[in-house]
A and B are shown apart, each in its own frame.
Chain A
Amino acid sequence: MRRAVLIAVPYFWLLALFLIPFAVVFKISLSDIALAIPPYTPTAKDGIWTMLSQLDFENFVFLTQDDLYWKAYVSSLQIALISTVLTLLVGYPMAYAMARAPEQWRPTLLMLVILPFWTSFLIRVYAWVGILSGEGFLNQFLLWIGIIDAPLTILNTNIAVYIGIVYTYLPFMILPIYSALDRLDGSLIEAAEDLGCSRIRAFWLVTIPLSRNGIIAGCFLVFIPALGEFVIPSLLGGSGTLMIGKVLFEEFFSNRDWPVASAVAVILLLILIIPIVLFQRNEQKQVEDGS
């Protein structure tokens, strides 16, 4: 009995915070646009059966007919993947340095990683506008030290989007990797070196595999929000930056087409769920194999 109650609590949260909202979005994606409050039809007011009988997959068919959506999904996947790799390249050495730092420094270093969260995310992204713009700090500095003659165009390009994503999600990469490296048993590396491994080989053969779970968790924490990112591409990206978050915004706000916007969101969710499920399967298999 007690066990059932204990299990019921997380399932209740899953139901309340994930399944019910998803069902609402899914239902809207099967509806039609209307000039009313709310701007779609049918609604539960029409009676449950009438409502269910009027639902159809028209909006999903529509998404396949215009290559805008396809291109936006692909381009978002590409931007999210590249940014995840970049974040890993920047984040791993930082996490490594933190884990290797003297014991008494670590809380301070950890604090410094978390510190940016004390300021609004929006303000921090806006700050990058000031740094990257034509007359921004970065260009001023580069001009001053004489590396460039004319200001670089970084703002309103995809490069600015990558910078924004790497900056914003860096803590989400560092923290899980740090916690994995922190737990790493130093004697394993010593053993590897005793057995004739060079330091670099020991790093590749011991440290990286043992921090694998941290790397994977960090990559998921960066990749998933980056895929649907809206604020960063709209503030730092140019009009040529095509991302599904922006398309979703346009559908919702400019076209007032909640049903199509919901269909876009449902597909985005499916794109995210499939790799996560595959990953979970793989993990479970490994655990079973290990035991």
Chain B
Amino acid sequence: MKPTMLSTVAAIALAGAAAAEDVRVYNWSDYIDEELLTKFEEETGINLIYDVFDSNEVLETKMLAGSSGYDVVVPTGTFLQRQIAAGVFQPLDTSQLPNLENMWDVIEERTATYDPDNAYSINYMWGTTGLGVNTGKVTEILGEDAPIGSLSLIFDPANMEKLAACGVHFLDAPTEMIPAALTYAGLPSDSKDQDDLAKAEEVIMAVRPYIQKFHSSEYINALANGDICVAFGWSGDILQARDRAAEAENGVDIAYTAPTEGALMWFDQMAIPADAPNPEGAHAFLNFIMDAQNMAQASNYVYYANGNAASKEFLLEDVIGDTAIYPDEAALENLYTVTPWGARDQRNLTRTWTKIKSGT
């Protein structure tokens, strides 16, 4: 009995010691190869606690409430900018991040819009928002010359009326959908103007009866199973749907296109909260992620491009060679970015979105 007691006490003591070396990471769901998490624990001896979220809003509310207990969080650029202003994050200690040299200057230049000098964050993944299409069914319904890569596929009522029976999903994210509707209406995609917002609302309301659902993650499976024909969603998610369909060999062909009228480009950034319990551990995690091979492993798994130049040589051909993931020069020209919404604009935006979704 006694030895057991002792070992129990020892185990508790050890657990207590390990608790001091926990690092808590809060990342998007389905956004990493989980082998990397075990690898991090093995290499550093730090105990990794990995939680996931599925919306920037949830993350932001936790951050603004303070004392979230997380050491690393992954907001999107626009949200990051606002959170930096609110004093949520601590500046990175570059001396603890030797792998910073792996980062890609082209992406760093763009993320500097949100985080000047990239003082608070590193890029994890980036991608575009666009059209996921079940090519077989859509060409069957709309004919061979269906506008598969154009926003008119989802915003032209004539097309949507025909696609409705087959199913169309929109992201339940006004910060993604409104810029797309503005682009389609020929207005500046980053406009926060009330009148422009009203026009974007008109664009979506015209096709509202034909939209089956607003949801930000269900479309992956729905596309892959052939339950829906079109989804407006995030590039990597749609590519995951394409691969799931291919693996299932169910005859469903999914294609992702960034809309020809212009596509939103976004950046998910890893940052360290100002009140992180273990900032050293957080830096260790960031440095681990910035390792060229680790970053490549993550991209190869989730089908999103990353901001790590050194990782490119380790990327699979169907990741680096796919212009839907790594756009070529011409396609890059076609991508736009947006800025954060202020409190009043955000209220207008959410109100418009509620009106679009519920009709009230």
CB-based nearest B residue for A260: B347
Beyond A33-B343, A37-B86, A239-B214, whether A255 also contacts B350 by CB under 8 A is yes
B8 within 8 Å of A by Cβ?
Answer: no
A174 within 8 Å of B by Cβ?
Answer: no
A36 and B86 within 8 A (CB): yes
Give the distance to chain A from B21, nearest Cβ to Cβ, in Å.
Answer: 26
The stretch of A7-15, A45-53, A222-230, A246-254 in contact with B is A246-254
Beyond A36-B87, A37-B66, A257-B347, whether A68 also contacts B60 by CB under 8 A is no
Beyond A36-B86, A37-B64, A253-B61, whether A242 also contacts B343 by CB under 8 A is no
A136 within 8 Å of B by Cβ?
Answer: no
Beyond A37-B86, A37-B87, whether A256 also contacts B64 by CB under 8 A is yes
B25 within 8 Å of A by Cβ?
Answer: no
Which one of A33, A35, A67, A252 contacts B61 once the chains associate, using CB atoms below 8 Å? A252
Dominant secondary structure of chain B at its interface with chain A: helix
C-alpha spacing A33/B85, complex, angstroms: 14
B351 and A68 within 8 A (CB): yes
Give the distance to chain B from A246, nearest Cβ to Cβ, in Å.
Answer: 9
A66 within 8 Å of B by Cβ?
Answer: yes
B347 and A255 within 8 A (CB): yes
B343 and A35 within 8 A (CB): yes
Q: Beta-carbon contacts of A130-160 to B below 8 Å, as 1s and 0s?
A: 0000000000000000000000000010000
Give the distance to chain B from A112, nearest Cβ to Cβ, in Å.
Answer: 34
C-alpha spacing A68/B354, complex, angstroms: 9
C-alpha spacing A239/B346, complex, angstroms: 20
Q: Which residues of A contact B85 (CB under 8 A)?
A: 35
Q: Which residues of A contact B63 (CB under 8 A)?
A: 37
C-alpha spacing A226/B61, complex, angstroms: 25
Beyond A71-B360, A240-B359, A255-B350, whether A37 also contacts B65 by CB under 8 A is yes
C-alpha spacing A68/B88, complex, angstroms: 32
Q: Which residues of B contact A253 (CB under 8 A)?
A: 55, 57-58, 60-61
B213 within 8 Å of A by Cβ?
Answer: yes
A242 and B65 within 8 A (CB): no
Q: Which residues of B contact A156 (CB under 8 A)?
A: 213
